Amino acid sequence: MSTAYVVVAVVTAAANIAAAVADFRRSAWILTNMTAYGIPHSRIHLLGAAKAAGALGLLAGFAVPVLGTVAAACLVLYFIGAVATVARARVYSHLPYPGVFLLLAAASLALNLAAT
């Protein structure tokens, strides 16, 4: 397991935990964005749970590497969907936000696969 993988996975997990907490707290700015993207507010806890599960899976991957691989792959898919949702809503100025999360998840996946 490389140092780069550990650092990137921890940063990715921390970012996703922070995002999940914001979802669970139903932050006003997130609800405003969800409205702009056409996502029902009732899904906010499900989206937060997905981010939290991905973050915890990345951390569990240090003990069971296959969990880290699966978690990173799921986060990549999740944030591809997030980028597509923002693009579909044509709120292009918001694309960098899920884009950064996508890059972190992709880097975690690539480094995980390189380490195994």
Residues 19-51 pLDDT 10s: 999 999 999 999 999 999 999 999 999 999 999
Pick the closest to residue 73 from 112, 115, 114, 21 (CA basis).
112
Query: Cα–Cα distances in Å, from 69 out to 29, 53, 56, 85?
Result: 31, 13, 12, 24
Q: The pTM is what?
A: 0.92
The mean predicted confidence, pLDDT, of the chain is 95
pLDDT value, residue 99: 96
**Which phi and psi (to 5°) does residue 95 adopt?**
-60, -35
- pLDDT tens for 79-97 read 999 999 999 999 999 999 9
Q: CB-based contacts of 46: which residues, under 8 Å, 6+ apart? A: none
Pick the closest to residue 76 from 113, 105, 46 (CA basis).
105
Can you tell me the mean pLDDT for 54-71? 96
pLDDT of 116 > 80? The answer is: no
Pick the closest to residue 57 from 98, 2, 96, 112 (CA basis).
112
